[in-house]
Amino acid sequence: MAMQAQTRFTWGIEWGYSGVFMDSHTFNYFTTDGVRVHDTDTVLELHSCGVFLVNAGVNIADHLTAAVYTGYTSVYEARKVIPYSLRTTYFFKGCDNAGWKVFLDAGSAFPLKGSFNKKPLIIAKAGTGYRIPIYKNFCVDGFLALQFAADHPLLIFDKYTHTPVPEEVLRRSDRSTLGLVFGLSLTL
Amino acid sequence: MAIFAMNASDVSMKPDLTKALVMAALLFMPLSLSAQPTGEGDVSWGTIHSPKGFGVFADFLWTGRGFNSFGFYADIYGISSLKASVPGIRFSFLHNVVLKQGSLGDGDATYSLFAGPGLMAGYVMDRDVRQGFAAGVSGDAGVRFDFPSSFAVCIFFQADLALHMKMHSQTTLSLYQNGLYQAWMPILSISYRFK
């Protein structure tokens, strides 16, 4: 029997697999010889990582929830981050009923303590999923999403010598990744 | 009706291990083998989620005072730190006894505190030692929540006392340290009960 969602707070945990399959970069820097190098490339290579997030939110309407997410993930090799994002989810059959959902998620991600690159990056997700109510407000969701991340790495390597490029000669450093994330979540 | 809550009158009965073993032999037939109202014979199939790894499992309930659990999961130790590129695999059998039962909410859901011994075997990595065969005894303790929707959620901890055999240039046998060092990592399982 369909249940009408009440405006209430929710919280939950989410975990899964993140497979970054596309990595694109544009670097512009000076070499020790004073030569300016413009390095741009897009690589299709799989980087696997786990995802673990916790969330707290509110059912703002019968079919709509908004929640803040944080946790742990990785956007490319050696770039483990703690994301902070806002996710808006639309449930086609209501927040507390079994059915499909779609969501949009966007925010920032901060590097772990001790990371060389202390700059935050932008992270966003768009995806779908299916909710199964288990008991009253306790639900299990499966989800699948496309994740985009945009970063400005401070540590890059010269494309010819493969040595680190000093930060003071780095004129432009853009790196973006695209990946697939899927997993399960438990929501109360 | 919750499985374990209906079996309060059966507390004095001994577990029917013979029936449980027959169910184990029919591992690939997750249909109900019993119409008894106590829930004996119910089979739960589900997935395991843990920082240790992920996999699938099956629980076979007996007399409402416990359940036998057969698990198979991929051991992901060393994957994130690039010590290993391929996960290990491990099997486990646990004979869990329900120590305490209680009801939740309106009484239609139950929780059960359980613990039990078992066995484990697998091909896994141990600390910085490359993958090798491991086998030994295992033990777990946790809490299981059974809901009227036939879903069950289990949170438990498992420790292994096992030996790890590595065969490379020479064969070495040592204590499977991850079985103890990773005992603190929680394991979450979500399953569906077939009556």
Q: Best residue in B149, B150, B187 to probe A by mutation, most A CBs within 10 Å?
A: B149
How far is residue B44 from each of residues B22, B39, B73, B182, measured CA to CA in Å? Answer: 15, 11, 16, 26
CB contact under 8 Å between B151 and A132, yes or no, is yes
Separation CA A26–CA B85 (nearest Å):
29
The token pair that represents A60 in the structure block: 């703002």
Residue A32 three-state SS? coil
Distance of alpha carbon B46 from alpha carbon B55, whole angstroms: 9
Which residues 6+ apart lie within 8 Å of B169 measured at CB? Answer: none
3-state secondary structure of B9: helix
Chain B residue with minimum CA distance to A133: B149
Whether residue B12 is predicted with pLDDT greater than 80 in this model: the reply is no
Alpha carbon distance B103, B6 (integer Å) = 11
- Nearest residue of chain A to residue B151 (CA atoms): A134
Q: How close, in Å, is residue B147 to chain A by CA atoms?
A: 6
Mutate to test the interface with B, among A18, A134, A141, A186 (most CBs of B within 10 A): A134
Which residues does chain B have within 8 Å of residue A133's beta carbon, measured at their own beta carbons? 149
- CA-based nearest residue in chain B for residue A48: B80
Least confident residue range of B50-54, B64-68, B83-87, B136-140: B83-87
- Residues of chain B with C-beta less than 8 angstroms from the C-beta of A184: 47, 49, 190
ipTM above 0.95, yes or no: no
Distance CA A24, CA A42 (A): 4
The CA dihedral of A167, A172, A173, A175, to the nearest 10 degrees, is 180
Does A141 have pLDDT greater than 50?
Answer: yes
pLDDT computed for residue B81 by the predictor: 72
Residue B146 C-alpha, separation from nearest chain A C-alpha, in angstroms: 9
Domain map (residue ranges) of chain A:
9-187
Query: Which residues in B lie closer than 8 A to residue A15 (C-beta atoms)?
Result: 49
Strand ranges (E), A60-78: 64-76
Q: B interface mutation test: which of A138, A140, A184, A185 has the most B CBs within 10 A? A: A138
Among residues B53, B65, B32, the alpha carbon closest in space to that of B192 is found at B32
pLDDT tier at A119, thresholds 50, 70, 90 = confident
Question: What is the third-level CATH fold of A9-187?
Answer: Porin (2.40.160)
- CB distance A135–B190 less than 8 Å? no
- Which range has highest mean pLDDT (A1-10, A13-22, A150-159, B21-30)? A13-22
Instruction: Indicate if the pLDDT at residue B8 is higher than 80.
Output: no
Q: What are the tens digits of pLDDT across the range A15-33?
A: 999 999 999 999 999 988 8
Beta-bridge partner residues of B50: B53
Residues B98 and B119 sit within 8 Å (Cβ to Cβ): no
Residue A168's φ and ψ, nearest 5 degrees, are -70, -20
Complete domains list, chain B, with CATH: 44-194 (2.40.160.20)
A89-105: per-residue pLDDT in tens? 999 999 989 999 999 99
